């Protein structure tokens, strides 16, 4: 079972071009050269044993630092991490034997040259509560997650190894932001680039048939080693390491949006949604996924079952119904189903034309929805009945 699980996790993992995991660097592999751009910045994200980190050596154009040294470079005044600038050839080696290295959860992360030169590109290590306020346009905020230490042999598979908790999200109708799983690629500034469309998991405003801004965003959790936010205008939020079971939770407003994700093992989750039966509304989901087995997403009047992908590309489905919902649910009969992130939402007081046959609209297959962060904003809160 453990070998099958490992194989499935490998198959579901998205290839990374800028992460080197310390568990893969052992004494018998010798010195490895890394494809790092000159001028890029290097960072270490790890809460591994200090001795093991000191056994990992990174050589930067002849200068040597251990992984522990890089983890101690400190922070900038804004709380972002100080990186180590690549000045030439970068190599990595370790004196750790495989039986020790295999338990390491940390990694080396490196940017591109373009990203390192971008004054609005910031990297944060999620090892404490960080309060972030941004008022600029064209901002990229990258987050490096650490091992939670919550897993043991008897833990449910859906408990993540790494997770950030994001709360107290505040933005303006004139601002916009989007969240992406995995690390930013070289085309990170282009919202319609394939790499961007393959990674976007949440946006505010959200584009499905129209453009909807949400004044209320539910607290959410992101499991990846690396994830990032692209922001224009005012954005304020808190981020910290942690994971809480979302099952049985309740939303904080009728008009709201939230995020739920799974790395490979889905949890059967029901979130109770505040609703007002006297008012009209729309409810819906936007799901990005790469599945091996089916997962069902449900709200009042909506049930969307998503099956497997035919290739390793992510796909997206978007569905809404003109109806208030008192719950949002994710269900699967499979202990290992695949990777997904679903943005669920509800807008009170808003009515839209229904489709002739089924009251739902769906976008299936390859990603075609351009969930960029520019456009005309339809202010959903103007429809709220106070």
Lowest average pLDDT, out of 10-19, 110-119, 187-196, 252-261, goes to: 10-19
In angstroms, the CA 80 to CA 130 distance is 9
SS3 content of the chain, % helix, strand, coil (to 5): 10, 40, 50
Q: Which domain does 62 fall in, by range? A: 19-110
Cβ atoms 331, 296 nearer than 8 A: yes
pLDDT in tens, 267-326: 999 999 998 877 889 999 999 998 989 999 999 989 999 987 656 678 889 999 999 999
pLDDT in tens, 209-230: 889 999 999 999 999 999 999 9
pLDDT class for 54, splitting at 50, 70, 90?
very high
Q: What pLDDT shows up at residue 351? A: 59
**pTM (2 d.p.):** 0.87
> Which two structure tokens, joined as six digits, stand for 133?
């306020």
Domain annotation covers residue 251: yes
Same domain, 247 and 138: yes
Same domain, 88 and 224: no
> Which two structure tokens, joined as six digits, stand for 323?
């109806």
pLDDT at 61 over 70: yes
In angstroms, the CA 235 to CA 371 distance is 18
> Which two structure tokens, joined as six digits, stand for 35?
């494809």
Same domain, 76 and 165: no
Residue with token string 């230490």 = 149
- Chain centre to alpha carbon of residue 40: 23
Domain annotation covers residue 11: no
Q: Which of 14, 1, 211, 16 is nearest to 109 (CA)?
A: 16
Domain annotation covers residue 188: yes
Same domain, 37 and 88: yes
Residue with token string 């630092």 = 65
Total tally of structural domains belonging to the chain? 2
Q: What pLDDT shows up at residue 356? A: 30
In angstroms, the CA 95 to CA 52 distance is 9
Buried b (16+ CB within 10 A) or exposed e, 19-49: bbebbebbeeeeeeebebbeebbbbbbbbbe
Same domain, 103 and 139: no
Q: What pLDDT shows up at residue 150? A: 83
Same domain, 92 and 182: no
Same domain, 202 and 332: yes
Cβ atoms 276, 216 nearer than 8 A: no
Largest CA distance in the chain: 70
Same domain, 141 and 95: no
Instruction: Give the pLDDT mean for 84-103.
Output: 95
């Amino acid at each position: 079972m453990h070998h099958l699980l490992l194989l499935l996790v490998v198959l579901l993992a998205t290839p990374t071009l800028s992460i080197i995991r310390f568990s893969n660097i052992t004494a018998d592999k010798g010195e490895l050269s890394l494809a790092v751009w000159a001028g890029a910045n290097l960072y270490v994200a790890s809460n591994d044993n200090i001795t093991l980190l000191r056994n990992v050596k990174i050589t930067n154009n002849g200068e040597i630092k251990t992984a522990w040294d890089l983890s101690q470079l400190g922070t900038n005044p804004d709380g972002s991490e100080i990186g180590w600038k690549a000045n030439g050839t970068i190599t990595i080696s370790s004196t750790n034997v495989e039986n020790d290295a295999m338990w390491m959860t940390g990694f080396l992360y490196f940017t591109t040259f373009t990203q390192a030169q971008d004054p609005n590109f910031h990297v944060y290590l999620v090892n404490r509560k960080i309060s972030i306020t941004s008022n600029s346009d064209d901002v990229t905020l990258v987050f490096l997650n650490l091992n939670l230490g919550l897993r043991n042999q008897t833990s449910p598979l859906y408990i993540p190894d790494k997770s950030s908790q994001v709360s107290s999200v505040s933005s303006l109708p004139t601002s916009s932001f989007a969240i992406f799983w995995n690390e930013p690629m070289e085309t990170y500034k282009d919202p319609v680039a394939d790499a961007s469309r393959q990674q976007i998991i949440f946006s505010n405003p959200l584009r499905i048939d129209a453009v909807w801004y949400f004044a209320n965003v539910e607290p959410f959790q992101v499991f990846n080693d690396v994830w990032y936010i692209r922001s224009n205008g005012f954005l304020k939020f808190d981020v910290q390491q942690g994971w809480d079971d979302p099952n049985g939770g309740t939303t904080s407003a009728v008009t709201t949006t939230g995020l739920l994700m799974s790395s490979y093992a889905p949890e059967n989750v029901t979130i109770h949604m505040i609703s007002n039966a006297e008012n009209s509304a729309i409810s819906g989901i936007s799901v990005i996924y790469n599945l091996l087995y089916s997962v069902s997403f449900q709200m009042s009047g909506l049930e969307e079952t998503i099956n497997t992908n035919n290739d390793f590309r992510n796909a997206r489905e978007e569905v809404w119904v003109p109806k208030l919902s008192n719950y949002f649910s994710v269900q699967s009969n499979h202990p290992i189903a695949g990777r997904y992130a679903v943005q669920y939402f509800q807008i009170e007081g808003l009515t839209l034309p229904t489709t002739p046959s089924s009251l739902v609209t769906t976008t299936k297959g390859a990603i075609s929805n351009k969930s960029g962060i520019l456009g005309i904003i339809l202010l959903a809160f103007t429809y709220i009945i106070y």
